[in-house]
Structure 1
Amino acid sequence: MGQAPSQDRRARTHEQLTHELAYRFKERCFTSIEYYSLKDVFKNLADQQGDIRYLKEDTIARFLEIPDILGASPVIFHMVSYLGAFPFLQEAPVVLELAQLIMVVVIMTERYKRVLAKGSTDRTKLLFKSLAVYDRKVMESETNEEGSSPSDSARKQPSTQSQPKGFAVDQPGLGDEDEDEEDDDDLVLTAFELLNVNEAIKRGDVSTIHEAIIPTDNFRKLIMLLLLAAPLDPQESLSQYSTRVADQELELLRATAECVLAAFVNVETSPGIRYTRFKTIIPALFPNLFSGFNGLFEHFLFSKDLDFSKRKDNKPGEPQHIGKMAQPLLPTPGDILNEHTLSQLSLFLPGSSLFRRVRLLYSGNEAGFSMGSLESKIFNWRAPTILLVSGTRLEDTPDGGQEASFATSLPPKRVPHGSKSERVTFGAYIREPWKHTHRECFGDSETVLFQLEPIHDVFTASTINTDYVTFTKPPGNRPCLSFGCPHPKPTQSHRKQGLHALGAVSLLFDESFEFGVFNHDYKSRGGAFHTSIVRKFDFQDRFRIESLEVWGCGGDDEAKAQAERWAWEEREAEARRKINLGTGDIAADRALLEMAGLIGGNRSGGSMG
Structure 2
Amino acid sequence: MGQTQSNEKSAPPPHEELTKELAGKFAEKCFTPLELYSLKDVFNSLADHEHQVRYLKEGTIARFLEVPDVLGVTAVLFQMVSYLGAFPFLQDAPAVLGLEQMVMVVTILTERYRRVLARGALSRRKLLFGSLAVYDRKLSTKGACQDGNAAPVAAPPSGFAVDEPGDDEDPGLDDDDELVLAAFDSLDYLTAFRHQGLPAPHGAMIPADNMRKLIMLLLLVAPLDAQDSLSSYSSRLSSGELESLRETADCVLAAFLNHTSDQRQPANLPSEQVQPLLEDTGSIMHLNILSQLSFFLPGPSLFRRLRLLYSGDEDGFSMGSFESKVFNWRAPTILLVSGTRLPDETNHAHSGPASAFLATLPSQRFPQGDRGEDKNERLTFGAYLSQPWKHTHRDCFGDEDTILFQLQPVHDVFRASTVNKDYTSFTKPSASAPLGGISFGCPPPQPTQAFRRSNIMSLGPVSLALEDSFEFGCFTHDYSSQGGAFQASAARKFDFQDRFEISSIEVWGCGGDEEAKHQAERWAWEAREAEARRKINLGTGDIEADRALLEMAGLVGANRSGGSMA
Question: Is the pair's TM-score, using the shorter chain for normalization, greater than 0.5?
Answer: yes
Matched, 1:417 2:368: yes
Q: CA deviation at 1:523?
A: 2.1
- Of residues 70-79 and 529-538 in structure 1, the stretch that sits farther from structure 2 once superposed is 529-538
Q: CA deviation at 1:467?
A: 1.1
Indicate how the Cα distance of structure 1 residues 3 and 263 shifts in structure 2: closer, same or farther if over 3 A, else same.
farther
**Contact 1:423-1:454 within 8 A present in 2 as well:** yes
Q: How far, CA to CA, are the matches of 1:166 and 1:125 in structure 2?
A: 16
- Secondary structure of the 1:343 match is helix
**Contact 2:85-2:97 within 8 A present in 1 as well:** yes
**Contact 1:172-1:209 within 8 A present in 2 as well:** no
* AA in 1 matched with 2:159: G
**Contact 1:129-1:169 within 8 A present in 2 as well:** no
**Contact 2:341-2:499 within 8 A present in 1 as well:** yes
**What's the CA shift string for 1:450-490, capped at 9, x where partnerless?**
11100111112221221111101254643321111111110
The answer for the alignment partner of 2:542 in structure 1 is: none
Matched, 1:402 2:395: no
Indicate how the Cα distance of structure 1 residues 101 and 577 shifts in structure 2: closer, same or farther if over 3 A, else same.
same
**Contact 2:382-2:405 within 8 A present in 1 as well:** yes
* AA in 2 matched with 1:406: F
The answer for the alignment partner of 1:449 in structure 2 is: 404
- Map residues 38-117 of structure 1 onto 2, 5 A cutoff: 38-117=39-118
**Equivalent of residue 166 in structure 1, options 152, 159, 172:** 159
The answer for the alignment partner of 1:13 in structure 2 is: 14
Q: CA deviation at 1:85?
A: 0.6
Q: How far, CA to CA, are the matches of 1:492 and 1:465 in structure 2?
A: 26
Indicate how the Cα distance of structure 1 residues 441 and 65 shifts in structure 2: closer, same or farther if over 3 A, else same.
same
Indicate how the Cα distance of structure 1 residues 149 and 356 shifts in structure 2: closer, same or farther if over 3 A, else same.
same
The answer for the alignment partner of 1:337 in structure 2 is: 285
| Aligned residues: CA RMSD | 3.1
- Secondary structure of the 2:469 match is coil
Q: How far, CA to CA, are the matches of 2:552 and 2:166 in structure 1?
A: 95
Q: CA deviation at 1:498?
A: 2.3
Q: CA deviation at 1:577?
A: 3.6
Which protein is bigger by CA-based radius of gyration? 2
Indicate how the Cα distance of structure 1 residues 417 and 495 shifts in structure 2: closer, same or farther if over 3 A, else same.
farther
Indicate how the Cα distance of structure 1 residues 496 and 413 shifts in structure 2: closer, same or farther if over 3 A, else same.
farther
Q: How far, CA to CA, are the matches of 1:5 and 1:480 in structure 2?
A: 78
Identical pairs, percent: 60
**Contact 1:90-1:205 within 8 A present in 2 as well:** yes
Q: How far, CA to CA, are the matches of 1:535 and 1:261 in structure 2?
A: 13
Q: How far, CA to CA, are the matches of 2:410 and 2:353 in structure 1?
A: 28
- Secondary structure of the 2:24 match is helix
Indicate how the Cα distance of structure 1 residues 494 and 37 shifts in structure 2: closer, same or farther if over 3 A, else same.
farther
Runs (5+) with no aligned partner, structure 1: 159-163, 269-319, 587-609
- Map residues 584-603 of structure 1 onto 2, 5 A cutoff: none
- Secondary structure of the 2:257 match is coil
**What's the CA shift string for 1:514-559, capped at 9, x where partnerless?**
1111112222223222222222222211111111011111111111
Indicate how the Cα distance of structure 1 residues 579 and 205 shifts in structure 2: closer, same or farther if over 3 A, else same.
same
Q: How far, CA to CA, are the matches of 1:128 and 1:3 in structure 2?
A: 41
The answer for the alignment partner of 2:219 in structure 1 is: 227
Indicate how the Cα distance of structure 1 residues 70 and 331 shifts in structure 2: closer, same or farther if over 3 A, else same.
same
Matched, 1:529 2:486: yes
Q: CA deviation at 1:152?
A: 4.2
The answer for the alignment partner of 1:317 in structure 2 is: none
TM-score (ref. length: structure 2) = 0.85
The answer for the alignment partner of 1:459 in structure 2 is: 414
> Size of the alignment, in residue pairs?
524
Q: CA deviation at 1:411?
A: 2.1
Q: CA deviation at 1:495?
A: 6.5
- Of residues 505-514 and 198-207 in structure 1, the stretch that sits farther from structure 2 once superposed is 198-207
Indicate how the Cα distance of structure 1 residues 449 and 11 shifts in structure 2: closer, same or farther if over 3 A, else same.
closer
Q: How far, CA to CA, are the matches of 2:341 and 2:515 in structure 1?
A: 36
Indicate how the Cα distance of structure 1 residues 11 and 545 shifts in structure 2: closer, same or farther if over 3 A, else same.
closer
Matched, 1:472 2:427: yes
The answer for the alignment partner of 1:371 in structure 2 is: 319
The answer for the alignment partner of 2:188 in structure 1 is: 196
Q: CA deviation at 1:211?
A: 3.0
The answer for the alignment partner of 2:546 in structure 1 is: none
Indicate how the Cα distance of structure 1 residues 442 and 583 shifts in structure 2: closer, same or farther if over 3 A, else same.
farther
**Contact 2:83-2:94 within 8 A present in 1 as well:** yes
- Secondary structure of the 1:25 match is helix
Q: How far, CA to CA, are the matches of 2:329 and 2:78 in structure 1?
A: 45
Matched, 1:520 2:513: no
- Secondary structure of the 2:470 match is coil
* AA in 1 matched with 2:521: E
Runs (5+) with no aligned partner, structure 2: 261-267, 540-548, 554-566
The answer for the alignment partner of 2:241 in structure 1 is: 249
Q: CA deviation at 1:124?
A: 0.5
**Contact 1:169-1:208 within 8 A present in 2 as well:** no
The answer for the alignment partner of 1:602 in structure 2 is: none
* AA in 2 matched with 1:356: R
* AA in 1 matched with 2:367: P
The answer for the alignment partner of 2:441 in structure 1 is: 484
* AA in 1 matched with 2:103: I
Q: CA deviation at 1:206?
A: 4.7
**Contact 1:342-1:354 within 8 A present in 2 as well:** yes
- Map residues 428-439 of structure 1 onto 2, 5 A cutoff: 428-439=383-394
**Contact 1:9-1:197 within 8 A present in 2 as well:** no
* AA in 2 matched with 1:168: A
* AA in 2 matched with 1:408: A
- Secondary structure of the 2:438 match is strand
Q: How far, CA to CA, are the matches of 2:292 and 2:221 in structure 1?
A: 11
Q: CA deviation at 1:442?
A: 0.5
**Contact 1:236-1:326 within 8 A present in 2 as well:** no
Matched, 1:185 2:177: yes
